[in-house]
Amino acid sequence: MQEKKKGQDIVTNMFLPAAIVMIFTQMTGVVANIIDGVVTSRFLGPDAYSSVSLLGPMVNIILLLASFISIGGQIVCSRKIGTGERDEANAIFTFSVIFGIGVAALFVVLSLTAPSILFRICGVSLDKRPELYEYMLEYLRGYLIGIPAVILVQILSPYLVMDNGKPLVSVSAGILCVTDVAGDLLNAWVFHGGLFGMGLATTVSVILQLLVLCIHFLTKKGYFRFSLKALTKNNLIDAAKNGSLSFVKKLATIVRDIATNRINLLIAVSTAAVAAKGMQSDINMLMFCFSIGIGRTLLTISAMYYGASDKEGLKRVFGYAMKLCVIITTVVGAILFVVAPLISSIYTDDPEVIELSVFSIRCLALGLGLDAITEAFQDYLQGIQNRKMVNILCFAERLFVPVATTLVLGSLFGTKGIMASVAVGKALLLLLLFLYLCIRCKGIPHKIEDYMFLPKGFGGSAEDNLNEHISSMEDVMRVSREAFDFCRAHNVDERHSNHMALFVEELAGNIVTHGKPRKKGGACADYRLFADNGKICLSLRDYCEAFDPMMYFELHKDDADEKSLGIRLVMKLAKDIRYVNTFNSNCLMIYMEV
């Protein structure tokens, strides 16, 4: 493949901005929760803070069914985008929103009518911890009104990132953080509303975030539209199958949190130990935002490349995401290890709580990189629909390994053993995964393909693919000649081979000559020509401002001048043309039957 100049890597240009927005969006919500915890601990005491920290499993329960259809829908939509099927993508998007509203209504009713059952599921018994129970109930009363907004924000945000709505997602996340912090401080200093006020502040902030996100759907530029006209039974089954992986992951997480809550409550000798574990959970949620942001971006982009059967593009996405995981989490983990005492002192002045929480945060810092790699790898496997491997890793990473290490280390070393298990468990899991790969590869895995678990024959043979990076007219003319030779080598007659060479010359030439790059440097494109089931397909992806040649053709098809002659000719000769603009990149696919 042609060597890329700095700033011309299409995958990097798509991936990094999307990952940053996803990380920021996740982080602002978690920061708001941490502020809840800090203000609660400072103004309402350790018991109140411990009570709120124990509600983590309940929040996961609220998001369980939402993530089931949300992630499943995102994967199917990404694949449909990868093949240019817009109506089907819109139908899945619309169903995801409707399903989310139904789930939200269900959980609001449960929170109003049966909160004690939810608390018992969280591992908190009315008989054993009555002082914590009342605090939890008070917070839930303020929080439950915002449950529909919480679910819809989780569903809509990833779609907006795909739909070039990253700035609005970032703005909405900032509004959430600012308004929640302001609401918490007003509650503590002015209104004195206790935990009910803390929950209500979160509710108001997340509703404001949702309203900002909805602005995107009032414009006409977006890719996604509310429409069910192309919804099919097969699409729903596909979304359910892919979403079941997230359902299992969330379910395993809930069971893990319940089990560790119970183990911690049994082993912990003081409220200080419970509070320290709660601080570790808070910081873990914040640090996990890096894993989630990179993982969710990898999931959607890998699903898009997988849907297009683009092995070369998928390798670049996978390799870049894993490299990003290591770099970011190594730096952040080192910083977290150093500032652990400062973070603990923000929560409390209690020496016992500070000692335990510093230890717990440093254990978390040591396992941060391992955690990010594990999460991103699972999201990648979900994007390529390797459900079997995802389920195995999910139960191992989210349930069996952490519960086993928590139980063993907790029995041996008490509360500190429970806190250390977050790093020990991840290291053990990655070691087991590496040993499995060694067995699978019958030796030490050394190629990137050894780690990717792709189906045999995915993407076709090397002879059936031609991948290039185009950044100049010299590149255009060279790949145009290669396109002719490629088609002739695949038994395409001379006339149609000339057509494909013309497609490459005209469309790639337009990008290089007239494209307006979003970053400094000249316009460029990733080019792929491949043969599949009696068809030759040309794929061009660039990181320039949006340009839909199909719309341009409709606007200029009756023009008499030569301005649009090349595009008009391509549109008339091609068998099937599909265009999509997502992640701020243009992707054009042209199919020609042979």
Would you say residue 1 lies in a domain?
no
Average pLDDT over residues 466-485: 92
Q: Is residue 478 part of a domain?
A: yes
Taking only the tens place, the pLDDT of each residue in 233-258 is: 887 888 877 777 667 776 777 677 77
Confidence of residue 331 (pLDDT cuts 50, 70, 90): very high
So what's the pLDDT on residue 78?
Answer: 82
Judge if 55 and 132 occupy the same domain: yes
Check whether residue 427 and residue 570 sit in a common domain: no
66's CB contacts (< 8 A; 6+ apart) are 100, 103, 104, 151, 154, 155
Beta-carbon-side half-sphere exposure of residue 167 (alpha carbons within 13 Å): 3
First to last CA, the chain: 26
Judge if 500 and 428 occupy the same domain: no
pTM score, whole prediction: 0.77
Same domain, 245 and 382: yes
Phi, psi (degrees; rounded to nearest 5) at 225: -135, 150
User: What average pLDDT is seen over the chain?
Assistant: 83
Say whether both 433 and 501 belong to one domain.
Answer: no
CA separation, residue 429 to residues 137, 218, 399, 432, 570 (Å): 36, 46, 11, 5, 52
* 29 contact partners, CB below 8 Å, separation of at least 6: 173, 176, 177, 206
Q: Yes or no: say if 213 and 196 are a contact pair by the CB < 8 Å rule.
A: no
CB 459 within 8 A of CB 529: no
The CA-atom distances, in angstroms, between 361 and each of 277, 280, 304, 358, 422 are 9, 6, 37, 5, 10
Q: Is 520 helix (H, G, I), strand (E, B) or coil?
A: coil
- Residue 544 belongs to domain spanning: 462-593
Average pLDDT for residues 59-76, to the nearest whole number? Answer: 76
pLDDT-derived band of residue 506, with 50, 70 and 90 as boundaries? confident
What per-residue confidence (pLDDT) applies to 551? 67
Is 493 part of any domain?
A: yes
Which amino acid is present at 469?
H
Q: 420 with 474, same domain?
A: no
Q: What is the pLDDT of residue 133?
A: 75
Q: What pLDDT does 234 receive?
A: 82
* Nearest alpha carbon to residue 383 among 499, 246, 255: 246
Q: What is the mean pLDDT of residues 485-495?
A: 90
CB count within 10 Å of CB 528 equals: 22
Q: What is the pLDDT, as a whole number, of residue 137? A: 85
Structural domain total, the chain: 2
Residues 254 and 57 sit within 8 Å (Cβ to Cβ): yes
The DSSP result for 251-296, as a single string, is HHHHHHHHHHHHHHHHH--SHHHHHHHHHHHHHHHHHHHHHHHHHH
| Residues 6+ away with beta carbon under 8 Å from 388 | none
Helix (H) / strand (E) element for 73: namely helix 56-82
In this structure, of 22-36, 109-123, 264-278, the range with the lowest mean pLDDT score is 264-278
Q: Are residues 234 and 326 in the same domain?
A: yes
Same domain assignment for residues 191 and 253: yes
* 207, 153 contact by CB (below 8 A): no
pLDDT at 311: 92
Residues 6+ apart with CB under 8 A from 297: 15, 18, 19, 22, 161, 321
Contact 170, 79 (CB under 8 A): no
Say if residues 565 and 508 touch (Cβ distance below 8 Å). Answer: no
Last residue of a domain, one of 441, 472, 507: 441
Half-sphere exposure (CA, 13 Å, Cβ side) for 415? 22
Q: Greater confidence, 31 or 101? A: 101
Say how far apart CA 139 and CA 203 lie, in whole Å. 11
Asked if residue 509 is part of any domain, the answer here is yes
Domain CATH number, residue 581: 3.30.565.10
Q: Is the model's pLDDT at 575 over the cut of 80?
A: no
248-267 burial, b for 16+ CB within 10 Å, e for fewer?
bbbbbbbbbbbbbbebbbeb
Strands ordered across the beta sheet of 465-470 = 465-470, 525-532, 535-542, 585-593, 576-582
Tell me what the mean pLDDT of segment 294-323 comes to. Answer: 90
Beta 585-593 vs 576-582: how paired, if at all?
antiparallel
Domain annotation covers residue 5: no
CA torsion 49→51→54→59, rounded to 10°? -90
The verdict on 421 and 519 lying in the same domain is no
Side-chain half-sphere CA neighbours of 133 within 13 A: 15
What the block records as the tokens of 176 is: 């959430």
Per DSSP, the residues of 374-393 read HHHHHHHHHHTT-HHHHHHH
579, β-bridge pairs: 588
Domain end marker among 371, 406, 441: 441
pLDDT for residue 571 is more than 80:
no
Tens of pLDDT along 187-212?
989 998 988 998 899 899 999 999 99
Tokens standing for residue 184: 């918490």
Mean pLDDT for the stretch of residues 466-490? 92
In this predicted model, what pLDDT tens digit does every residue of 546-565 receive, in sequence order?
Answer: 776 666 556 555 555 555 55
Of 441, 471, 491, the residue that ends a domain is 441
CA distances from 93 to 146, 442, 496 (A): 22, 42, 38
Q: Are 287 and 332 in contact (CB under 8 A)?
A: yes
Q: Does residue 8 belong to any structural domain of this protein? A: no
pLDDT of residue 294: 92
Residue 371 lies in a domain: yes
Decide if 272 contacts 353 (C-beta within 8 A): yes
CA angle 435, 438, 439 (to 5 degrees): 90
Are 403 and 531 in a shared domain?
no
The pLDDT of residue 318 is above 70: yes
Q: How confident is the model at residue 261 (pLDDT cuts 50, 70, 90)?
A: low
Q: Which residue type is seen at 101?
A: I
**Using 50, 70 and 90 to split pLDDT, how confident is the model at 451?**
very high
Q: Is residue 155 part of a domain?
A: yes
The verdict on 379 and 511 lying in the same domain is: no
Stated as kind and residue range, the H or E segment containing 157 is helix 147-162
**567 and 419 assigned to the same domain:** no
Closest C-alpha among 517, 589, 583 to residue 548: 589
